[in-house]
Amino acid sequence: MSHVPAASRALRVLRHLAGRSGPVSASGLAAELGLPRSSLYQLLEAMAEEGFVVHLPEERRWGLGVAAFEIGSAYLRHDPLERLARPLLARLTEETGATAHLGILHGRDTLYLLKEQPPHSPTLITGVGVRLPAHLTASGRSLLARLPRAQVRALYPDAAAFTDRTGRGPAAPGELRTLLAEERRRGYSLEEEQVTEGFSSVAAASFDHNGTPVAAISLTVPVQRPVSPAALAHRVGDAAAELTRRLGGRIPPPEER
């Protein structure tokens, strides 16, 4: 396979990693792709420098890096995702009176793509194009909870990766892992005054055909509003499932990833 251009080999590596449920060993990659180990190691090191793959030394495995996720998210941001989600958000806002958002992961941030706000509602910091720490937002955590655990570890390797806004929310890898496991089992994420004091949000993830989380739908309300998070979560979950269907995706079991 030495005659195959390096770019083609890199794309084959990315496609192979994208089709696996978690990180794989270099020897396994070499065997399945029919590449010499020495060439593969050089290729992986170059891809790691650009952020497309990440090395997990304790596991001696390689997984997709943040840049690979950003490329996939960028494709969806070019129009189809917003067009498919906009009517769902408008319906949510009309039926619940809450502010609805569509967000994606961008590194360790939640990037908001859409916002539907009811008339006369309080102004929120979350607007189209705004980025907020993913570990604090319901949208971000609903996506992090369904990523491979190794990818979350790569994003949040230590306490220095965590930022704070209101003094609430996870501040260390162990705290985040515990919270994500709980939210993964529950099926939705909940944040209470971790982004803005006086407001809480619930969110659920939508998935592509590989069962990979690609976007999250959330609802935000004032904390004093007499509505249970579970009631809002039910509406959000239905909308996220409908977006998954529109994307031609599938919802994986909670413990698949």
CA 179/CA 110 separation, integer angstroms: 17
Q: What are the residues whose beta carbons fall under 8 Å from the beta carbon of 250, sequence distance 6 or more? A: 207, 209, 210, 211, 244
State pLDDT tens for residues 25-70.
Answer: 999 899 988 888 888 999 999 999 999 999 988 889 999 988 888 8
The whole-number average pLDDT for the span 200-208 is 95
* 191 close to 137: Cβ distance less than 8 angstroms: yes
Per-residue pLDDT band at 253 (split at 50, 70, 90) = confident
| pLDDT score at 213 | 95
State pLDDT tens for residues 135-192.
Answer: 999 999 999 999 999 999 999 999 999 988 888 989 999 999 999 999 999 999 999 9
Q: What Cα–Cα distance (Å) separates residue 226 from each residue in 175, 223, 236? A: 29, 8, 17
Per-residue pLDDT band at 196 (split at 50, 70, 90) = confident
As a whole number of Å, the CA-based R_g of the chain is: 19
* 135 close to 141: Cβ distance less than 8 angstroms: yes
Three-state DSSP at 142 gives helix
Sheet of strand 213-222: strand arrangement: 131-133, 109-116, 99-106, 213-222, 199-207, 189-192
Tokens 């399945």, located at residue: 32
Three-state DSSP at 204 gives strand
The whole-number average pLDDT for the span 107-127 is 83
Q: Two tokens at 70? A: 């950003």
Tokens 């999250």, located at residue: 216
Task: Identify the bridge partners of residue 216 per DSSP, sorted by sequence position.
Answer: 103, 205
Q: Two tokens at 123? A: 């102004």
Mean pLDDT for the chain overall? 88
Q: Tell me, what DSSP letter sits at residue 169?
A: S
Q: Give 32-38's long-range contacts (Cβ < 8 A, gap of 24+).
A: 33/1, 33/9, 34/1, 35/1, 35/9, 36/1, 36/2
Q: What are the residues whose beta carbons fall under 8 Å from the beta carbon of 203, sequence distance 6 or more? A: 101, 103, 137, 138, 139, 141, 142, 188, 189, 216, 217, 218, 219, 236
In the chain, alpha helices (H): 6-18, 26-33, 37-49, 66-77, 80-96, 138-144, 149-155, 173-186, 229-246
- Is the pLDDT at 2 greater than 50, yes or no? no
Q: Which amino acid is at 234?
A: H
| More confidently predicted of 55 and 1 | 55
| pLDDT score at 223 | 85
| pLDDT score at 1 | 41
Q: Tell me, what DSSP letter sits at residue 147?
A: S
Question: Among residues of the chain, what percentage have pLDDT more than 70?
Answer: 93
| pLDDT score at 256 | 55
